[in-house]
Structure 1
Amino acid sequence: MTTPITQSAPDDDDRNSFIYVVAALAALNGLLFGFDTGVISGAMLYIRKTFELATLFGHSVNAAYVEGIIVSGAMVGAVIGAALAGRLADRLGRRRLILVGAVVFFVGSLIMAIAPTVEILIVGRIVDGIGVGFASVVGPLYISEISPPKIRGSLVSLNQLTITSGILIAYLVNYAFSSGGEWRWMLGLGMLPAAVLFAGMLFMPESPRWLYEQGRVSDAREVLSKTRLESQIDAELSEIKETVRTESGTFRDLFQPWVRPMLVVGIGLAAFQQVTGINTVMYYAPTILESTGFADTASILATVGIGAVNVVMTVVAVLLIDRTGRRPLLLTGLAGMAGMLGVLGVAFYLPGLSGGLGLIATGSLMLYVAFFAIGLGPVFWLLISEIYPMEIRGTAMGVVTVINWGGNLIVSLTFLRLVDVFGQSGTFWLYGVLSVIALVFCYQLVPETKGRSLEEIEADLRETAFGRDTDDHPDVAKTDD
């Protein structure tokens, strides 16, 4: 049921205020995403002191394996949530799925906070992850469908900014409770933003596009009247009508010859965003820093600095992405990531890490995160919303998001095992090699979409098949500047 909206025509200030409030509330989905990503990193330092991690379901196991399961449990849930989110968003509506996701996240956080055993803790992580999986799909979808076209890009980018802000908030929470090792409070405080999201969304409208698809045209018009000029409403309703009429794509359409290259790009970016190691830093930063000589509390405080760098550089990326283009930020970011991973591997390889090399390792971690935050972090989510044709965009983004969470799961589950086998230096060098491969992949295949409408991008892709008719590089959507 759509929230009642006053019939008097709002002025421009009212419209702007309303849409920013709606977008900010919906962007709390990203904050849940980021909080879950960051909070486990500090909590793990103390969870391993509370539970016997060498035993699981009554069987003796490798403690590093159990720690990996605890961390990656949320990723298992997120894969499930992301796989279901597209269909549920179409069936329940965007707003209702956000409400469901907030409840699921709240329950997962509660289970973790009171978990009496490591097995129950893992269950809580999985439930928490399902809520995160919902949020990662429906948050940006809701914002994009309710936002006016002229500010849609900045409002959708707000979701990425709240992800990094959520990570930073999680690090601050970790630090606040680190002196007493109160990991249950660290994990349990996720209930707070979930409750705020749920309460706020009770008063927000449904997506006008979803309402129109359900035949509720008057409700769709009513929502648009709060965010559009009266002269724009009929035109936008006509565009929605045309989109709804033509959107008949199926999963099989992803494998059309002209679409296949875009699917390869999306899957490649989704995988490389994870296998280049970013979430080893997000999940295990205190553990990594502890090995450089930091005490528990000091390592968590240093992690707060990493989170702050992540937020600041995401702001820089949002400011630059429509000026410099997607490709320059992506290629610069990957080159920097590869370089910093190389330095990080050297720092861990040489003896005396607790001295000057420890500072080098810490600085390299921060710079690695900075390069990710201006490139592969935000550019991935933006590109997959641009390069797919309208009739299969939801299906394609669903597939790519599942691949992204699957990669996240694999990396988080294998990091400690890789360290056991290759050592920390070898593991970081492996991620560095994968970053170089990602750089080559992006240079060869990823298009530039700056300054082009979605319709122009689709037309260019149909005509040139990712620039195969060009002589220099495969920029699909070329700009005039």
Structure 2
Amino acid sequence: MPMQSGGGFVFQHEKEYPGNLTPFVLVTCIVAAMGGLIFGYDIGISGGVTSMPSFLKDFFPSVYKKEELNTSTNQYCKFDSQIVTLFTSTLYIAALLASLVASTVTRKLGRRLSMLVGGFLFCSGAIINALAQNVAMLIIGRALLGFGVGFANQSVPLYLAEMAPYKYRGALNIIFQLSITIGILVANVLNYFFAMIDNWGWRLSLGGATIPAIIIIIGSLVLPDTPNSLIERGMHDKAISNLRKIRGIEQVDKEFNDLVEASEASKKVNHPWRNLLQRRYRSHLTMAIAIPFFQQFTGINVIMFYAPILFKTIGFQNNASLMSSVITGAFNVLATLVSIYGVDKWGRRILFIEGGIQMFVCQVVVAILIGLKFRVSGNLSSQVHQWYAIVLVLFICTYVCAFAWSWGPLGWLVPSEIFPLEIRSAAQSINVSVNMFFTFVVAQVFLTMLCHLKFGLFLFFAFFLFLMSVFIYFFLPETKGMPIEEMSIVWKNHWFWGRFITHNDDDLKMAKMGQPPKRFH
């Protein structure tokens, strides 16, 4: 029976596929999700490295002078440097470009090969960064890291969505986000200790990215291909064999036949990119753009990229700022476990909305706290007391927790599960590209915006948090518990998106009577 929600009908379908959460599929999904380590490690490492005096002295001497010699009294502007932000943000424009190529590789050659390419590119970039002698080498290394992230972020969420039994798809997919948070935490811890090594500790931080790269390389070599990908490439015998192994039972004909049917329909689509513009895919295209856009405008990467710089800006000493980043990173990991537990129990919409409200409140409070301390001038109104630092870190941790159980994992989960096979690779490429583009924009302009908007920057992100929560309430239907190849039903019966999809007349009648369509009987 369907249930009415703010997002339209949520169907309790009767078409269920048999199968278990086998140890094989659990281990497989955990190994694949390790692809998130490379993304997380990079997010965590860049902000810490750019706060290390030895790194700034070697590559960004003008920023070093303002920071260490206190030649700038305006706390909001002391780190404002387009070259510093270019070091961080180059990765994301490269990831955007790579995701467009990765779409074709993922579709034609499989998810595993795309992950393998991503691992090799990321490893190459880490080595170049660790050995960098000038800013040009840093930028080249960051670009290679970005190409690796683009391939991994294109393939890993799709791999997880296709491998997981639909009842556990949310939890298993969020392991990818858990890996990202673990990568961030590990990077923060390493930054804290490597910062104690004068002159070359930053090289160890940047070179450490080779470890998660090697993990994804090895993982992609030993993982099986998804049944969806094998069917898409015409390997039906291997696909049904893999499906039996994944589900832990012999009788998988119903699910296999539906996968084949979806694949045959997708092969009739000659131009999946152009197909995305069709009226019936209006909802999918909107979500592929809106969700990653909003995810970046939560302001989370301001915290994750520049946490050490942000904490130093508001009066923390170098080691104290790095330790505060470790604390926020630990909360990030723990809160992601909440999402793994609740996403298939409570649903996607409630986590999205609750997380948005919680982050909104925290951004407003942080803006007030920073405004009271630095005012508009950017000069300290008084000495930073311990209680002030504790309260500020507490609200930032509360904000990070909200993101970690809502927009963080769901920003990758929901797009990966809502696209039909015929547009899946192209739509996921749009999703990754939009995500990387706005990650690049936020990373590139944050320090300049902080300099000009001052504490108002946090109110800027609060506005978007309000907007995105309203968007989710009205326009995103609940998708928990729906088999990935049967996802179209949630769009057909949505109060707004249903008008863009051609309904069978009988289905419409059944929906109005409060019953599922005939094919679910």
TM-score by length of 2: 0.81
Name the CA distance, whole Å, in 2 between partners of 1:479 and 1:279.
Answer: 43
Whether the 8 Å CA contact 1:77–1:127 is kept in 2: the answer is yes
Moved more, 366-375 or 221-230: 221-230
Contact 2:80 2:447 in 1 (8 A): no
1:450 and 1:239 map into 2 onto residues whose CA distance is 19
1:449 and 2:467 correspond:
no
CA contact (8 A) 2:80 2:451 kept: no
- Structure 1 residue 260 corresponds to structure 2 residue 282: yes
2:217 paired with 1:198: yes
1:405 counterpart residue number: 436
2:460 is equivalent to residue 430 of structure 1: yes
Following TM superposition, by how much is the alpha carbon of 1:173 offset from its aligned partner in structure 2, in angstroms? 1.3
CA RMSD of aligned residues (A): 2.6
Cα gap change, 1:301 to 1:152, in 2 (>3 Å): same
**1:113-128 correspondence to structure 2 within 5 Å:** 113-128=130-145
Distance in 2 of aligned mates of 1:140 and 1:310: 19
1:141 matched to 2:151? The reply is no
Matched residue, 2:44? 38
Change in 2 beyond 3 A, CA 1:191/1:268: same
Contact kept in structure 2, 1:258 and 1:461, CA below 8 Å: no
State whether residues 167 and 344 of structure 2, in contact with CA within 8 Å, keep that contact through their aligned partners in structure 1. no
CA pair 437-217 structure 1, distance change in 2 beyond 3 A = closer
Query: Which residues of structure 1 form unaligned runs of 5+?
Result: 1-11, 56-61, 470-475
Alignment pair present for 1:347 and 2:369 = yes
Q: Would you say the 8 A contact 2:116–2:220 is kept in 1?
A: yes
Aligned equivalent of 1:226: 245
Tell me, in whole angstroms, the C-alpha distance in 2 between the residues paired with 1:176 and 1:344: 28
Change (3 A) 1:141 1:455: closer
Match of 2:425 among 375, 383, 394: 394
- Tell whether the 8 Å contact from 1:54 to 1:63 is kept in structure 2 after alignment: no
Which whole-Å CA distance do the structure 2 matches of 1:110 and 1:183 have between them? 13
Q: Secondary structure at the match of 1:420?
A: helix
User: Helix, strand or coil: the match of 1:202?
Assistant: helix
Residue 415 (structure 1) aligned with residue 432 (structure 2):
no
- In structure 2, the partner of 1:66 is 83
Aligned to 1:245: 264
Gaps of 5+ in 2: 1-18, 64-78, 374-381, 500-510, 517-521
Tell me the SS of whatever aligns to 1:227: helix
Amino acid in structure 1 at the alignment position of 2:415 = I
Aligned letter for 2:206?
L
Deviation, 1:205, is 2.4
Task: Report whether the alignment pairs 1:185 with 2:204.
Answer: yes
1:84 corresponds, among 93, 97, 101, to 101
Question: Aligned equivalents of 1:291 and 1:466: distance in 2?
Answer: 45
Structure 1 residue 440 displacement after superposition: 2.3
Q: Which residue matches 2:92?
A: 75
Task: Give secondary structure in 1 for the equivalent of 2:196.
Answer: coil
For residue 251 of structure 1, give the secondary structure of its aligned residue in structure 2. helix
CA deviations 1:169-205 (Å, max 9, x no partner) are: 1111111212125111001011012113222332332
Q: Deviations over 1:29-71 (max 9, x none)?
A: 111111111111111112212213559xxxxxx9610011001
1:466 maps to: 496
Kindly indicate whether residue 28 of structure 2 is the aligned counterpart of residue 22 of structure 1.
yes
Give the residue type in structure 2 aligned to 1:430. Answer: F
- Partner letter of residue 460 of structure 2? L
Higher relative contact order by CA 8 Å / sep ≥ 6: 1 or 2?
A: 2
Look up the equivalent residue of 1:428 and give its one-letter code: F
Q: TM-score, normalised by structure 1?
A: 0.88
CA distance in 1, matches of 2:371, 2:99: 38
Aligned to 1:332: 354
Counterpart in 1 of 2:505? none
Question: How many Å apart are 1:301 and its aligned residue?
Answer: 1.0
Q: Paired residue for 2:405?
A: 374
User: Is contact 2:292-2:434 (8 Å) kept?
Assistant: yes
CA, structure 1 residues 466+204, in 2 after alignment: closer, same or farther (shift >3 Å)?
A: same
CA distance in 2, matches of 1:340, 1:188: 34
Q: Give aligned pairs, total.
A: 454
- 2: CA distance between counterparts of 1:148 and 1:450? 12
What amino acid is aligned across from residue 120 of structure 1 in structure 2?
A: M
Distance 1:457 1:91, change over 3 A: closer
- Structure 1 residue identity aligned to 2:464: L
Aligned equivalent of 1:311: 333
Matched to 1:132, the amino acid is V
